[in-house]
Amino acid sequence: MIEVTMSTRNARHTLKRQIDIKTNDPDVPEVSVYLQATVVEMLSVSPPILNFGKVRQGLTYTKELTLTNTSKTVLVISGIEGNPPAVLNVSAECPITIEPGQSHTMTVTLAPGSTKSRFHGYISILTELEFLPRKILRVAAQISRE
């Protein structure tokens, strides 16, 4: 028996890999095994990138963020953190339990303060799933003084 583990990080839909196995058979010194797997997202985040667009310094902006459990088991969100925390805040009290096929919507607040030009931050979503302990959502904004 050969056990194979493939990273699905950043993979979507179909993942294909080839494994070359060396043998001690002089007639067949190497055998190739082709693997194909369908990557299924267990936690869907909408929107996939949270772009606040053009915003002004010193004002506060909000956008909705929806988490959907696309797995077949109960999903527990153990924590949600905005980074940097002085600029990004997520209105969510954890733990959040999401049943299979269900969603949970929350509000993300951006307070750019005196941040200049472009803002790039992220929201870290912590789960109790063995294969998805953390999911990162990128957050962007273009900040102006006017």
pLDDT tens profile 58-103:
899 999 999 999 988 999 999 999 999 999 999 989 999 999 999 9
pLDDT band at 7 (very low <50, low <70, confident <90, very high): low
Q: Which of residues 125 and 72 earns the better pLDDT score?
A: 125
Contacts of 96 (CB under 8 A, 6+ apart): 67, 76, 77, 80, 104
pLDDT at 42: 87
pLDDT tens profile 26-58:
998 999 988 888 777 889 999 999 999 999 998
Q: What is the C-alpha to C-alpha distance for residues 118 and 140, in angstroms, rounded to an integer? A: 7
Which residue type sits at 42? M
Q: Which domains does the chain have, with CATH numbers?
A: 1-39 (no CATH), 43-144 (2.60.40.10)
pLDDT band at 11 (very low <50, low <70, confident <90, very high): low
pLDDT band at 3 (very low <50, low <70, confident <90, very high): confident
pLDDT at 9: 63
